[in-house]
A and B are shown apart, each in its own frame.
Chain A
């Protein structure tokens, strides 16, 4: 509509401006009115003399006024035209700003690669549980590839493929995690209690550290309770933990106290797929049941507390149970929170274990132990780049609860950014097992993350 009006005005103005001074337009004629054509004068009879007509050319003041008016009109129209052009430009910019990505790659999964290597230097021979000697060696420990994307409006999928150092056997490919998270169904628009179903292979929600991949751990080695009770065939230096095939249901309970969040996981997993079961084939013939409850609350904005309880049970001829309690405290100031923090935490596990003694045959005699294990750690952030921490582990042997091993460790981590980390650590080990006793080790680690980095678990600094 504005364009039409402007066009009309411009046309009229052009007509007006097109009238030359020689056109003898009256000085007071409207500028947008074309002068009438001259009337024919032939007449058979003499006409009286016409009255004198005022010629604008003869009135400089009137002409100056007319020109000034015209100049103003032109300027206004130019301004209006400029505004309209500007408005079109703005609209183009806004359309461009809100244009969705056109690359077909936009629908591919986010891909992130994690590369982790370590070197260790020891004062005596060190062996893995499998008997491989690993002292004074350098290792490329793992390359993990993480793929994640929405499957459809109802589900997301994650696949984490790991190329791991299988000591003595070269490199092995492993499905570290591969699962789908169903958030809702077409027939259930909103899942009750925010229910999410995780189906596939995933790191079991038992305790705190088991859920964290090695490259995200604040230490270079897995704590003894994780390694001994949940799983690590190659020892604490290599990727391990418990990642069964199963189904996990996670809900957020209704808020009772403002600021406190209670989450509950209930899982059914392939029984026996955990170090706690040992090599007992019987355990794999029965389902395993896992539950985890987590209470989180924040005090004065900067202090986060996380308290968790876990329980796992297997039925069958050799029923076993494992329980755990975990605690995490984190202080991170609101302002400049990327520069200072303190983290304290730990886990305690105990259980009632029945297993195949003296071999893994189905008719092997049943062993029974009630071991426990625990670790605690603390970490202080010294600057944006540097973190200093310490950890202490103690664990009884699941197969013989009279044998205890302890580890004291200290470490210094240096991040160039959240994507590249160097770490130096020292560990001392005491054990009732002579081959594990009195070992002093220095460990250097490098961790690289490249690609589309996924959101980190909330408790990890960086």
Chain B
């Protein structure tokens, strides 16, 4: 009587273990890659091409800061040869997933683990660390992928990781990386400017936020194309964002962030704070509000109703809105929506 339930469980375990090889053989031979965010999955697909099978754990409109790991995540991670996380404390749940997976190849420091933000210079590094500041990130603002210049480094990190776990495909990954980075440069600067100065110089000037002034000094501003040209009307546009998400995007395209709807990072606004923010928006002539779809829209709508500012539903991840199926479409969409709101 006592033995029966245990014997049943043991029999079931053996049967499932025997079934496992069949399941494994039926699977694809592509390199299984798991990423935390969809933007990392999109870049990995661009670099890996047909050699990789990529799974993103977070959903595009899910708040990556507060996502709680589900058991299904560790099963995905258990079978991965490469695990890509952003780092900088944004997807801090990644370690819980890799730990629980029992997969030794994707633990921290192993060749199968990629911290995509490695080597990216962060902004808004806190000078003091205290929970009284809300949900702060000790290593700086983590939303680095919203600047296309940073995505070149993220892509390089992913390509290096793929090359480590799949040396046979390294030449392919390197070639795809170069093509991806060139495509990013063309999308950002336009072909004419890229031909004039080359990617290296443009990237350095961009990192120092001196590109536009430089081109005007040199009389080559008319060669500017791509996203930077499209975003020309946005330069100097004052905006308020829901969360401290947009510093990289705004610095790249020249928008000026006046404040946040959140009282402190990760803390929704109180009525008193909203009243003060509305007064500030009116005083400073803010015309546009960036509200990420991962947050509720009611506060943005309330402020818009009181101030006349327009709300931009601003997806932060690939797939976060219709027509944002890859990184290029995501930035395109953000610029298009911002331009429409700024009119």
Assess the B19–A183 pair: CB atoms within 8 A: no
Query: How many angstroms between the C-alpha atoms of A384 and B295 in the bound complex?
Result: 10
Known: A184-B104, A254-B17, A334-B59. A261 touches B296 (CB 8 A): no
Within 8 A of B (CB), among A236-264: 252-256, 259, 261-264
A196 within 8 A of B: yes
A360 within 8 A of B: no
Which of A90, A156, A334, A384 has a CB less than 8 Å from the CB of B204? A90
Assess the B71–A417 pair: CB atoms within 8 A: no
Assess the A190–B118 pair: CB atoms within 8 A: no
Interface size class of B (residues with CB under 8 A): 35 or more
Q: Please name all residues of chain B whose beta carbon is closer than 8 Å to the beta carbon of A28 when the two chains form the complex.
A: none
Assess the B70–A98 pair: CB atoms within 8 A: no
Assess the B17–A193 pair: CB atoms within 8 A: yes
Assess the A337–B63 pair: CB atoms within 8 A: yes
A36 within 8 A of B: no
B201 within 8 A of A: yes
Q: Choose the segment among A199-207, A219-227, A293-301 that binds chain B (4+ C-beta atoms closer than 8 Å).
A: A293-301
Residue of B nearest to A154 (CB): B104
Within 8 A of B (CB), among A312-352: 313, 319, 321, 334-339
Q: Choose the segment among B72-80, B273-281, B333-341 that binds chain A (4+ C-beta atoms closer than 8 Å).
A: B72-80
Assess the A98–B119 pair: CB atoms within 8 A: yes
Q: Please name all residues of chain B whose beta carbon is closer than 8 Å to the beta carbon of A385 when the two chains form the complex.
A: 268
Q: Please name all residues of chain B whose beta carbon is closer than 8 Å to the beta carbon of A96 when the two chains form the complex.
A: 121
Assess the A455–B121 pair: CB atoms within 8 A: no
A419 within 8 A of B: yes
Q: Please name all residues of chain A whose beta carbon is closer than 8 Å to the beta carbon of B63 when the two chains form the complex.
A: 337-338
Q: Please name all residues of chain A whose beta carbon is closer than 8 Å to the beta carbon of B6 when the two chains form the complex.
A: 289, 291, 311
Within 8 A of A (CB), among B1-28: 2, 5-6, 9, 13, 16-17, 19-20, 23
Assess the A190–B293 pair: CB atoms within 8 A: no
A-B contact count (CB 8 A): 130
Q: Please name all residues of chain B whose beta carbon is closer than 8 Å to the beta carbon of A254 when the two chains form the complex.
A: 16-17, 19-20, 23
Q: Please name all residues of chain A whose beta carbon is closer than 8 Å to the beta carbon of B23 when the two chains form the complex.
A: 254-256
Q: Please name all residues of chain A whose beta carbon is closer than 8 Å to the beta carbon of B160 when the two chains form the complex.
A: none
Which of B61, B92, B102, B134 has a CB less than 8 Å from the CB of A252? B102
B120 within 8 A of A: yes
Query: How many angstroms between the C-alpha atoms of A294 and B71 in the bound complex?
Result: 10
Known: A86-B208, A196-B102, A384-B268. A98 touches B19 (CB 8 A): no
Q: Please name all residues of chain B whose beta carbon is closer than 8 Å to the beta carbon of A194 when the two chains form the complex.
A: 74, 78, 100-103
Assess the A296–B122 pair: CB atoms within 8 A: no
A450 within 8 A of B: yes
Query: How many angstroms between the C-alpha atoms of A118 and B78 in the bound complex?
Result: 42
Query: How many angstroms between the C-alpha atoms of A195 and B105 in the bound complex?
Result: 15
Assess the A256–B16 pair: CB atoms within 8 A: yes
Assess the B62–A337 pair: CB atoms within 8 A: yes
Q: Please name all residues of chain A whose beta carbon is closer than 8 Å to the beta carbon of B220 when the two chains form the complex.
A: none
Q: Mark B98-112, 1 if CB is under 8 A from A, else 0.
A: 011111110100000
B179 within 8 A of A: no
Q: Please name all residues of chain A whose beta carbon is closer than 8 Å to the beta carbon of B237 when the two chains form the complex.
A: none
Q: Please name all residues of chain A whose beta carbon is closer than 8 Å to the beta carbon of B295 when the two chains form the complex.
A: 336
B199 within 8 A of A: no
Residue of A nearest to B62 (CB): A334
B96 within 8 A of A: yes
Known: A94-B121, A98-B118, A336-B296. A190 touches B204 (CB 8 A): no
B267 within 8 A of A: yes
A93 within 8 A of B: yes
Residue of A nearest to B107 (CB): A153
Residue of A nearest to B75 (CB): A261
Q: Please name all residues of chain A whose beta carbon is closer than 8 Å to the beta carbon of B296 when the two chains form the complex.
A: 336, 339
B68 within 8 A of A: yes
Q: Please name all residues of chain A whose beta carbon is closer than 8 Å to the beta carbon of B101 when the two chains form the complex.
A: 194
Query: How many angstroms between the C-alpha atoms of A311 and B75 in the bound complex?
Result: 25
Assess the A90–B70 pair: CB atoms within 8 A: no
A401 within 8 A of B: no
Query: How many angstroms between the C-alpha atoms of A336 and B78 in the bound complex?
Result: 29
Assess the A456–B68 pair: CB atoms within 8 A: yes
B131 within 8 A of A: yes
B328 within 8 A of A: no
Q: Please name all residues of chain A whose beta carbon is closer than 8 Å to the beta carbon of B68 when the two chains form the complex.
A: 455-456, 458
Assess the A252–B131 pair: CB atoms within 8 A: no
A432 within 8 A of B: no
Within 8 A of B (CB), among A155-211: 156, 183-184, 189-191, 193-196
Residue of A nearest to B3 (CB): A313
What is the CB-to-nearest-CB distance from A142 to chain B, in angstroms, rounded to a whole number? 21
A87 within 8 A of B: yes
Known: A83-B204, A264-B13. A94 touches B119 (CB 8 A): yes
Assess the B119–A97 pair: CB atoms within 8 A: yes
Residue of B nearest to A254 (CB): B20
Q: Please name all residues of chain B whose beta carbon is closer than 8 Å to the beta carbon of A136 when the two chains form the complex.
A: none
A304 within 8 A of B: yes
Assess the A252–B74 pair: CB atoms within 8 A: yes
Residue of A nearest to B16 (CB): A253
Within 8 A of A (CB), among B254-275: 266-268
Assess the B61–A334 pair: CB atoms within 8 A: yes
Assess the A195–B102 pair: CB atoms within 8 A: yes
Assess the B208–A455 pair: CB atoms within 8 A: no
Assess the A83–B74 pair: CB atoms within 8 A: no
Assess the A83–B99 pair: CB atoms within 8 A: no
Q: Please name all residues of chain B whose beta carbon is closer than 8 Å to the beta carbon of A291 when the two chains form the complex.
A: 5-6, 9
B187 within 8 A of A: no
Query: How many angstroms between the C-alpha atoms of A411 and B183 in the bound complex?
Result: 56
Which of B102, B107, B294 has a CB less than 8 Å from the CB of A336? B294
Q: Please name all residues of chain A whose beta carbon is closer than 8 Å to the beta carbon of B59 when the two chains form the complex.
A: 301, 334
B215 within 8 A of A: no
What is the CB-to-nearest-CB distance from B100 to chain A, in angstroms, rounded to a whole number? 8
Assess the A455–B96 pair: CB atoms within 8 A: yes
- Give 10 closest A-B pairs by Cβ, nearest first: A194-B102, A254-B20, A335-B61, A261-B71, A296-B71, A455-B96, A93-B121, A336-B296, A94-B119, A86-B204
Q: List 18 A-B contacts (CB under 8 A).
A: A93-B121, A94-B120, A190-B105, A195-B102, A254-B17, A256-B23, A263-B71, A291-B5, A319-B2, A336-B295, A337-B62, A385-B268, A417-B267, A419-B131, A455-B69, A455-B92, A455-B96, A458-B69
Chain A interfacial positions (CB closer than 8 Å to B): 83, 86-87, 90, 93-94, 96-98, 153, 156, 183-184, 189-191, 193-196, 252-256, 259, 261-264, 289, 291, 293-294, 296-298, 301, 304, 311, 313, 319, 321, 334-339, 384-385, 417, 419, 450, 455-456, 458
> A83-B201, A264-B13 given. 4 additional CB < 8 A pairs?
A334-B59, A336-B294, A336-B296, A455-B68
